[in-house]
Structure 1
Amino acid sequence: MVKVLDSFLVSPPPGVVPTVSLRLTYFDMPWLFCPNVQRLFFYKFPHPTLYFMETTLPMLKRSLSLTLQHFFPYAANIMCPPSPGKPFIHYTDGDSVAFTVAESDKDFDHVVADYPRDVELLHPFVPQLPSEEVTEDGIRVLPVIALRVTVFPNSGICIGSTYHHTVGDGKSFMHFMRFWASGNRSGATDGDLIRLENSLPLINKDVVKDPAGLELAYLKNYWHWVSSRGENSAPPKDITSNKVRATFTFDRARAERLKQLVTTGDAEQNHISTFMVTCAFVWVSLIKSKENLAYNLSDNDDDDNKFYYFMFSSDCRNRLEFPVPTTYLGNCLRPCIVDVKRSELIGEDGIVLAAKAIGRAIKEAMRSGWEWAEDPVSAIRKRAITGRLTPTAGSPKLGVYDTDFGWGKPCKVELAHIDHDGAMSMAECRDGQGGIEVGLALNKNQMDEFVAVFEQNLKHLGL
């Protein structure tokens, strides 16, 4: 589906970044066990491939090199020593990012459409990370990021990224992307880049304190993970077969109407956000579509007391006893898990009850900051094994549609890895009017059923 035109490595300018090692905090370590993030940015680009190669590509490479000077952890490697060693990020002069350029003959408008399309459609635009290596002393070396630019001649461009979440969360990655985009847009020198962005990343792990002694618990999980890596060599199952992906928009008007429904009769008058009601609406629609399909196949488990689970991440940068600046490059996310009984979710007030449950989880995260009742890694695994956990990926607060390389804002941003992990992706609406876009990848039969339930719920609630 794509023709590779060129491949190369991009490093920070030589000699400007010293050799450095950065420890991983207890916010970073859980992401070692998670799949890589695959984010695709699509832009209108009405020029031929030759124009891109001769005019656009040189500045993309230069601005990326200057950006990596300040965001060098993305050019580094994650070092994973065996027990009792601790994992860390290591950069040395010459470390680089794998960058490929490709061309596609696919219909660009079809690729960026919101309606259901085969999930395989996006995979050729996703770059592959270089393979990990193992040093003589048993340290596993994990590359951090790979980039691919795919040109759709006279139609568009896709900037695809695959990166290891361990180095930084969505806020850190989007800081990196916007910095790169601003430099490319202006044709800037390094000094101009700093003035344009006026907020360089803070690369200092010492700002994250550990008053509760959480690091040891995560190190135990890490030592188990690193010792068992490579033991299971069975090829992964193709879980994308017969799947389609689609984007659903929950605009501001719908969100405001649903907020009114949720707050009616709420004695506590809790704050109800667009995020809460959108998650609740989509989550309940997903559950009802699964239940309907199971019922039609005579394969349903009608235990009203079983739980469904919803998971999202809460940014802790402004919710900790110790200050963590917004420009901190690293992870500062707390997982939030919502447990609600089946009987409540599929009932008449399922969406309202789901929204309030999500609201309580947000309130608890704001109250407790870095404290949680149980190890989040174990808590997530315990719920995931039931098959009834719906995780989220991305956030409407990341500003992915503000990433302008000089060709205008993206016409579509996708998270391709949801094809594999069953998450719903979330981003702000492209129109900038305060709504939310939700991406889903489902079996084709379930997608058909979900669309029917989604539209039925909109009609039932007068949205």
Structure 2
Amino acid sequence: MSITPFTMKVLEQCSITPPPTTAPLSSLLPLTFFDIPWLFFSPSQPLFFYEFPHSTSHFTATVLPKLKQSLSLTLQHYYPFAATFTPSSDLTKPHLICTDHMSVAFTITESNGDFKHFCNNHPRDAKDFHLLLPKLASSFPHQGKEHFFPLLAIQVTLFPNAGVCIGFAFHHVVADGRTFHNFFKTWASYCCSFGSASAFFPPESLPLRDPSVIIDAKGLEEVFLKEWRKRRLVQDIAIGREPKLVDLSVNNHEDHSYFGFIAGGITRLDYPVPITYLGNCVGFGRASVRRKELLGEDGIVIAAKSIGSTIKKLDASIFAGAEKWISDWEVLHGSEQHVHATWSPKLKLYELDFGWGRPKKIEEISIDYTGAVSLLQSRDVVGGIEIGLALPKSKMDIFSMLFTKGLVTLP
């Protein structure tokens, strides 16, 4: 279901920089083996909708300065989010680059769209949501020259006298969902306490960017880098391009259906990593079920057991089969037969308050082209999960009918 065509008006475009001397000038941040698999993934594109029944003038005069200043203060702790990425044209190890000119693109727009429609739970046309997303600038290596890619962009859209949408585009190569949640939480805390001294963060709660805490005991970095170099030789997979993984070996997967998901690594490692670690520390899980079993009478039970078994294997050894993380996940991307999940209901995203109350709605828009489903903590049901799904209208109509029928027949 689409809505009446609406317009978008750009009010301001600027760059938000961290405070001076936040990071050493021209410092290089090496990627760990946890970061490298994310080179093959497209950016995340979450949208956070907040009720805000005020005028444009009120927003620009009182709220916008707080958002800008609090974001700058947040970037002093999360400065890698303002860094750039280079794929390294000589095919050596990719890395992040921090300079005194690093910044985050920040766009403010105004829309005459129906805010309530965006926050509803019925099916809606995904193309309407794309207008609320920031553009993450990208370029590609050319004639041996290195090019650099920003890791984060933000767009704030005001719906006058109705609400505000904060949209993100960010590359997971810089950090996992846990770190992004902490970044957003810090930004919201600074914004709420703007002009006061209440936003105090004890040193032990501040993020730690120290790749040395990640131990590569199994030599996975070189395994993943070989995959990276191999694919770059076959096709330019520079980060920022519309995501299309190079499928070098499909290995006859048609007899199975897979469900891929991300597993937290900090609690599963056999050595300590601070919970405030800034970066990626997650593993990849992939459950497998034969299609004929999945389509059988006990398909749901069989699928649940397979997922549970995969989780137990990750609990026992998160690195079991890790050398195949990239190739195993390759078949999931954009597939109609296989499914993978993004985000996690363990992240309390609906508690992120900028002073306007909790989000009214959260959507992950990248699922529109990745084929993933989003799993978020429910806003209103304790222990509940919100599932985001993007399908062509004909298939969404069938899914809605079957899903509703299933709810009716539940005991």
TM over 0.5: yes
**SS of the residue aligned with 1:344?**
helix
Aligned-residue RMSD, C-alpha: 2.3
Which one-letter code corresponds to 1:441 in the other structure?
A
Q: What CA distance in whole angstroms lies between the structure 1 residues aligned with 2:242 and 2:37?
A: 22
1:460 aligns with 2:401: no
1:16 aligns with 2:9: no
Q: Which residue of 1 aligns with 2:213?
A: 207
Per-residue deviation at 1:212?
0.6
Equivalent of 1:162 in 134, 145, 169: 169
Distance 1:379 1:168, change over 3 A: same
Equivalent of 1:317 in 255, 266, 280: 266
1:397 aligns with 2:346: yes
Higher helix share: 1
Q: Which residue of 2 aligns with 1:179?
A: 186
Per-residue deviation at 1:324?
1.5
Q: What CA distance in whole angstroms lies between the structure 1 residues aligned with 2:297 and 2:273?
A: 42
Tell me the number of residue pairs that the alignment of Structure 1 and Structure 2 aligns. 392
1:100 aligns with 2:107: yes
Per-residue deviation at 1:192?
4.8
TM-score, L = length of structure 1:
0.80
Q: Which residues of structure 1 form unaligned runs of 5+?
A: 238-304
Q: Which residues of structure 2 form unaligned runs of 5+?
A: 1-6, 244-253
Distance 1:457 1:231, change over 3 A: closer
**SS of the residue aligned with 1:375?**
helix
Q: Which residue of 2 aligns with 1:354?
A: 303
**SS of the residue aligned with 2:131?**
helix
Which one-letter code corresponds to 2:218 in the other structure?
A
The CA deviation string for residues 279-313 of structure 1, in whole angstroms up to 9 with x for no partner, is xxxxxxxxxxxxxxxxxxxxxxxxxx921111111
Equivalent of 1:3 in 9, 19, 27: 9
Distance 1:404 1:101, change over 3 A: same
Distance 1:136 1:350, change over 3 A: closer
Q: What CA distance in whole angstroms lies between the structure 2 residues aligned with 1:452 and 1:117?
A: 15
Q: What CA distance in whole angstroms lies between the structure 1 residues aligned with 2:132 and 2:69?
A: 22
Which one-letter code corresponds to 1:10 in the other structure?
I
Distance 1:386 1:236, change over 3 A: closer
Q: What CA distance in whole angstroms lies between the structure 1 residues aligned with 2:334 and 2:23?
A: 44
Equivalent of 1:147 in 154, 159, 172: 154
**SS of the residue aligned with 1:441?**
coil
Q: What CA distance in whole angstroms lies between the structure 2 residues aligned with 1:180 and 1:402?
A: 13
Q: Which residue of 1 aligns with 2:251?
A: none
Per-residue deviation at 1:327?
1.1
Identity over aligned pairs, percent = 42
Per-residue deviation at 1:344?
1.8
Asked if 1 retains the 8 angstrom alpha-carbon contact of 2:334 and 2:370, the reply is no
Q: What CA distance in whole angstroms lies between the structure 2 residues aligned with 1:118 and 1:308?
A: 27
Q: What CA distance in whole angstroms lies between the structure 1 residues aligned with 2:106 and 2:242?
A: 26
**SS of the residue aligned with 2:391?**
strand
Per-residue deviation at 1:132?
2.9
Which one-letter code corresponds to 1:79 in the other structure?
T
Which one-letter code corresponds to 2:375 in the other structure?
M
Asked if 2 retains the 8 angstrom alpha-carbon contact of 1:78 and 1:142, the reply is yes
1:306 aligns with 2:255: yes
Asked if 1 retains the 8 angstrom alpha-carbon contact of 2:152 and 2:169, the reply is yes
Distance 1:197 1:425, change over 3 A: farther
Q: What CA distance in whole angstroms lies between the structure 2 residues aligned with 1:16 and 1:373?
A: 35
Q: What CA distance in whole angstroms lies between the structure 1 residues aligned with 2:377 and 2:116?
A: 20
Q: What CA distance in whole angstroms lies between the structure 1 residues aligned with 2:214 and 2:242?
A: 36
Q: What CA distance in whole angstroms lies between the structure 1 residues aligned with 2:43 and 2:175?
A: 12
Which one-letter code corresponds to 2:163 in the other structure?
G
Q: Which residue of 1 aligns with 2:82?
A: 75
The CA deviation string for residues 331-371 of structure 1, in whole angstroms up to 9 with x for no partner, is 11111111111222222222111111110011011111223
Equivalent of 1:28 in 13, 19, 35: 35
1:45 aligns with 2:52: yes
Q: What CA distance in whole angstroms lies between the structure 2 residues aligned with 1:127 and 1:179?
A: 21
Per-residue deviation at 1:315?
0.5
Q: Which residue of 2 aligns with 1:55?
A: 62
Q: What CA distance in whole angstroms lies between the structure 1 residues aligned with 2:195 and 2:202?
A: 9
Per-residue deviation at 1:188?
5.2
**SS of the residue aligned with 1:220?**
helix
Asked if 2 retains the 8 angstrom alpha-carbon contact of 1:150 and 1:157, the reply is yes
Asked if 2 retains the 8 angstrom alpha-carbon contact of 1:182 and 1:196, the reply is no
Equivalent of 1:410 in 336, 344, 359: 359
Distance 1:327 1:106, change over 3 A: same
Q: Which moved more, 1:427-436 or 1:81-90?
A: 81-90
The CA deviation string for residues 141-199 of structure 1, in whole angstroms up to 9 with x for no partner, is 1111000000000000000000011000110111100000000011156x753438961
Distance 1:383 1:6, change over 3 A: closer
Per-residue deviation at 1:139?
2.4
Q: Which residue of 2 aligns with 1:138?
A: 145
Per-residue deviation at 1:94?
2.4
Q: Which residue of 1 aligns with 2:250?
A: none
Q: What CA distance in whole angstroms lies between the structure 1 residues aligned with 2:141 and 2:16?
A: 23
**SS of the residue aligned with 1:168?**
coil
